[in-house]
Structure 1
């Protein structure tokens, strides 16, 4: 299907216009659009423009309050929490960010939790943001239930990713880890279902708990945990931090991030930041440099996060190819 090659600026403008057209405030729309641009820039298309019609649809139907004004509470010296007010996660995270990072520098460590929230896009981008500010960041977000415990059939936790951003001491990230509790992100299966393409046999289970290559059946069943019970354990860990600690609803009670049913999902996020200066200081960067060298100097090995940098260089030069169907769906909200 024919489409267009868009620059990153054009993608940002397109996403912003669609979200404002759907009824979101300029500030909320801009925050989500920036996240969309970063996903496309890094080649993570399952979290990029593909999601904009879903975001816009959720503003229209009320799953997301596009006009929400986040409420920030600095409850303890190292603790900041934000009520997203059923709005987008991105502006809620932005609302608490400066107090959070300031607390981390003052105390050596601090945490930010978000509740009454929504999908926060690519979690690794928030970890990278912390690394760029010279902080070691641990990030967690949960999602509507899609992973059943090993041996079970009923989903209890979501794909529940975690991310780690490691500063390089020069305003960038030396290491960026971003992975989910499932073998693959659910958005990738959604993308395959939309394109009527099969999935890999180890990615998901059908409603009866059997492996399937049919993306549509997978969406009616559950995601396969990465590493079996170990992956489910990671999902539980994220659930404890991003749902229980944050005061968000459990994954099993959250409405889906796709479709219009169920009202606001009311999910949550948790971010923890360490200031290396408060711990090992300059020695931290020496150790990180030695660690990354031990990986990168091996043939065919790469430091986590390095592929995104390569994608950025290419995509910033070449632009992003967007098919006509997706453009039409996005532009339908651009009033």
Structure 2
């Protein structure tokens, strides 16, 4: 691992994005979001993505100087067409509208289409919860980049279709409660991160075409290389995969019907992914007293923290060793990395260094 200060990484990431065609202001905003993902422990959605964005730009599926536009707007609803801009711009635009409308009307919904890659959805959830609003979202990939099989199958029919929810804690905690989860056993980016770290995959994460556990992430290939490598399992795996399948179906249709983009089955599944989504925000103050809600949060947190951490009960392959509230791991990681810097896998450092050399940009990974 190579460790780097967040501010230096942001400057470097913005420089690379500008070379890929992004205007300076856009590059800076995207870099902030990418480094925020690295800071909170989500390497899969951090600067690791920049080479992929470069490929998307080269293939014409990401337009680096595009800006999102509001296509429909009425009352507490709106539809944002990303215009194939950087998804980090689209997410910001959607959140701005969502917060404004929910603050005015008590509840708001924003459909999103053509957003390329929205990045870490937890970032948008946190921004809404910071305004003392509740948040819920459904995200899909508009029929492209399918990597997840339904329960009982090895045929890819979904993306990882994340569902995200957030609740403000009314100053009872230094972070909002944010659940940001794939409806598959694991997000696809976690497989990239495992390969970058040289780690094997847990047997319950993915499956070969023959139905056997797929544990070598280097065998997975690209989501655009046909059906040779198998699929990621739905959330619940071999025990309760029907539940993850059901959640994936709902995320697919909420995002597609309300965002307006195509759903799986309406376009070439080997094409690039293009996020669509439906974001919801609710002002809890319209439903009761904030002081009462703060007391409720405090009581629940105390109740939750009273649970024991039993050494013989596993929390899961992607979880820590003790019970944590949703969003707590990200908060703890961000605090640590503010002091110690952001660790990057060597494969990511190599890819970014090669991209920097291609554009004759000085990289920050050595002091030379």
Q: TM-score, normalised by structure 1?
A: 0.90
Matches within 5 A, 1:31-110: 31-110=29-108
SS at match of 2:79: strand
Q: Residues of 2 paired with 1:297 and 1:312: CA distance?
A: 24
Residues 119 and 249 of structure 1, relative CA distance in 2, 3 Å threshold: same
SS at match of 1:272: strand
Q: Residues of 2 paired with 1:278 and 1:236: CA distance?
A: 31
Corresponding position of 1:314: 336
Offset, 1:18:
0.7
Offset, 1:209:
3.4
Q: Residues of 2 paired with 1:255 and 1:27: CA distance?
A: 33
Corresponding position of 1:273: 281
Offset, 1:271:
0.9
Q: Residues of 2 paired with 1:160 and 1:61: CA distance?
A: 24
Is the 8 Å Cα contact of residues 61 and 116 (structure 2) preserved in structure 1? Answer: no
Offset, 1:195:
5.0
- Determine which of 294, 300, 325 is the counterpart of 2:350: 325
- Determine which of 113, 125, 128 is the counterpart of 1:127: 125
Q: Residues of 1 paired with 2:185 and 2:96: CA distance?
A: 34
- Determine which of 279, 285, 288 is the counterpart of 2:294: 285
Do residues 191 (structure 1) and 193 (structure 2) align? yes
Q: CA RMSD in A?
A: 2.2
Offset, 1:327:
3.4
Corresponding position of 1:201: 203
Offset, 1:97:
2.9
Structure 1 stretch displaced more, 112-121 or 290-299:
290-299
Is the 8 Å Cα contact of residues 205 and 218 (structure 1) preserved in structure 2? Answer: no
Q: Residues of 2 paired with 1:332 and 1:243: CA distance?
A: 40
Q: Residues of 2 paired with 1:209 and 1:16: CA distance?
A: 42
Is the 8 Å Cα contact of residues 141 and 162 (structure 1) preserved in structure 2? Answer: yes
Give the gaps of 5 or more residues in structure 1.
Answer: none
Do residues 294 (structure 1) and 303 (structure 2) align? yes
Is the 8 Å Cα contact of residues 46 and 187 (structure 1) preserved in structure 2? Answer: yes
SS at match of 2:38: helix
SS at match of 2:308: coil
Offset, 1:174:
3.5
Give the gaps of 5 or more residues in structure 2.
Answer: 222-228, 310-322, 361-368
> Stretches of 4+ moved more than 3 A in 1?
170-174, 193-197, 216-219, 251-256, 321-324, 332-335
Offset, 1:42:
0.9
Q: Residues of 2 paired with 1:321 and 1:152: CA distance?
A: 37
Do residues 117 (structure 1) and 115 (structure 2) align? yes
Structure 1 stretch displaced more, 309-318 or 279-288:
279-288
Residues 267 and 96 of structure 1, relative CA distance in 2, 3 Å threshold: closer
